[in-house]
């Protein structure tokens, strides 16, 4: 293990993802939510998403499978992991967090610490930034960063909830962080932001702990247990914050948008991604989108997309890769990586 006084870059040594088997196409939602395939695609770009299967998939379990694949991709085993950073807004239990549940699922020994991150759509980059600091300072050599979500069990699947419910899907992605093998490669910088004044613009409000009887209050206010989104306001802020935080990363490392080999944004809405692409002046082959097949999987969306991009050969050694996210909080973040 490196001396704590030695700063070093961390690199993504392995990637992996898992999505449930159940494919839910827009046609399946048409009667359920009184919507149409054309309406969904026009507003989101989504054609299908994955929904979990009760009794088979859990947030921790999906994360564990993504982690196994990431470790195998890195040529490592669970015995090499020294820290887990687990990002989710949909934990299996109210407490404890899903990080320790995944640790158990993976059969880890040695009391490996598990840290849970609750930053929704920005959760994976927030978690990546935390893990990066541990590797940079030499406290840990091998950190597992996981984003895993089950949205489908908490959606209002009626006409009343369709504007939000058609967007989200389930899945998990994971990366393994290790000290960079090549000088100048790895995570160059991460950039994290939040603006809490807009917390209620994208929210699941209940069950909140600030109720004397939170359970009965939530039952009496059932609609507040479903996601609420002020779509117009979220879009308005997203198309500003995405370019800002991407530019922040590029400026800090003396790069221009033209230097980006691949931008992997949080898969929130294809219209947002396309707006950001146009704003940054990036060609189609410089931006990765898979929201068409998975919908918005929140903390899982960037690691799933990153895993697919690597598998498809869209990223090669030495490429400049930018990750960026915006979502509930409001929170937004970016990471710039020399692969």
Sequential pLDDT tens for the chain (339 residues):
444 445 899 999 999 999 999 999 999 999 899 999 999 999 999 999 999 999 999 999 999 999 999 999 999 999 999 999 999 999 999 999 999 999 999 999 889 999 999 999 999 999 999 999 999 999 999 999 999 999 999 999 999 999 999 999 999 999 999 999 999 999 999 999 999 999 999 999 999 999 999 999 999 999 999 999 999 999 999 999 999 999 999 999 999 999 999 999 999 999 999 999 999 999 999 999 999 999 999 999 999 999 999 999 999 999 999 999 999 999 999 999 999
Q: Which residue is it, tokens 């040594």?
A: 13
Q: Is 86 exposed, middle or buried (0-12, 13-18, 19+ CB in 10 A)?
A: buried
d(CA 153, CA 51): 8
Q: Are the CB atoms for 16 and 171 separated by under 8 Å?
A: no
d(CA 41, CA 47): 6
Two tokens, residue 116: 């849970």
User: Please, which residues have CB within 8 angstroms of residue 56's CB and are 6 or more apart in sequence?
Assistant: 20
Two tokens, residue 228: 């609420």
Provide the pairing of β-strand 228-229 with 202-203.
antiparallel
Upstream peptide bond of 47 is cis (omega within 30 degrees of 0): no
Predicted TM-score (pTM) of the model is: 0.96
Q: Are the CB atoms for 291 and 82 separated by under 8 Å?
A: no
β-bridge partners, 228: 203
Q: Which residue is it, tokens 């409000």?
A: 205
Catalytically active residues are: 121, 266, 296
The alpha carbon torsion through 72, 78, 79, 82 (nearest 10 deg) reads: 110
């Amino acid at each position: 293990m490196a001396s704590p006084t030695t700063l070093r870059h961390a690199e993504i040594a392995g990637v992996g993802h898992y999505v449930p088997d159940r494919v839910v196409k827009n046609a399946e939602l048409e009667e359920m939510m009184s919507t149409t395939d054309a309406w969904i695609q026009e507003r989101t770009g989504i054609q299908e998403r994955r929904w979990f299967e009760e009794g088979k998939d859990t947030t921790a379990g999906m994360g564990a499978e993504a982690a196994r694949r990431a470790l195998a991709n890195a040529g490592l085993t669970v015995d090499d992991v020294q820290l887990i950073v687990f990002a989710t807004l949909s934990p299996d239990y109210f407490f404890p967090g899903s990080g320790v549940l995944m640790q158990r699922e993976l059969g880890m020994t040695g009391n490996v610490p598990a840290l849970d991150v609750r930053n929704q759509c920005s959760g994976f980059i927030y978690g990546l930034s935390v893990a990066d600091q541990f590797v940079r300072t030499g406290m840990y050599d091998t950190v597992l960063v996981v984003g895993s979500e089950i949205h489908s069990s908490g959606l209002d699947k009626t006409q009343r909830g369709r504007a939000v419910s058609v967007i989200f899907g389930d899945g998990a992605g994971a990366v393994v962080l290790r000290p960079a093998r090549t000088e100048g490669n790895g995570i160059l910088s991460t950039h994290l932001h939040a603006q809490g004044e807009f917390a209620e613009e994208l929210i699941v409000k209940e069950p909140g702990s600030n109720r004397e009887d939170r359970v009965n209050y939530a039952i009496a206010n059932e609609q507040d247990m479903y996601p609420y989104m002020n779509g117009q306001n979220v879009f308005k802020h997203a198309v500003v914050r995405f370019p800002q935080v991407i530019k922040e990363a590029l400026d800090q490392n003396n790069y221009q948008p033209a230097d980006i080999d691949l931008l992997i944004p949080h898969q929130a809405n294809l219209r947002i991604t396309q707006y950001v692409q146009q704003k940054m002046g990036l060609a189609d082959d410089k931006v990765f989108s898979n929201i068409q097949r998975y919908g918005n999987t929140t903390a899982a969306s960037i690691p799933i997309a990153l895993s697919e991009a690597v598998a498809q050969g869209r990223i090669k050694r030495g490429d400049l890769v930018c990750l960026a996210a915006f979502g509930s909080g409001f929170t937004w973040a970016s990471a710039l990586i020399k692969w």
